[in-house]
Amino acid sequence: MNKINYQRELDNLISNLEKEGRVPSLLLHSCCGPCSSYCIEYLSQFFNITVFYYNPNIYPDEEYYHRVKEQQKFIEAFPTKHKVSFIEGDYDKESFYTIAKGFEKEPEKGARCHKCYELRLRRTAKVAKEKGFDFFTTTLTISPMKDSQVLNEIGLKVSEEEGISWLPSDFKKKEGYKRSTELSKEYDMYRQDYCGCVYSYNERQLQKAQKTED
Question: Is 1 among the domain residues?
Answer: no
Count of structural domains, the chain: 1
In-domain check, residue 180: yes
User: Does residue 5 sit in helix, strand or coil?
Assistant: coil
> 132 in a domain, yes or no?
yes
Domain-embedded: residue 64: yes
Each residue's pLDDT, cut to its tens digit, for the chain (214 residues) gives: 689 999 999 999 999 999 999 999 999 999 999 999 999 999 999 999 999 999 999 999 999 999 999 999 999 999 999 999 999 999 999 999 999 999 999 988 899 999 999 999 999 999 999 999 999 999 999 999 999 999 999 999 999 999 999 999 999 999 999 999 999 999 999 999 899 999 999 988 888 888 777 6
**CATH code, domain with 73:** 3.40.50.620
What Cα–Cα distance (Å) separates residue 92 from each residue in 72, 103, 165?
Answer: 19, 19, 25
Q: Is 163 inside any structural domain?
A: yes
Range of the domain at 14: 6-213
**Residues in Cβ contact with 48 at an 8 Å cutoff, skipping those fewer than 6 apart:** 23, 24, 25, 26, 82, 83
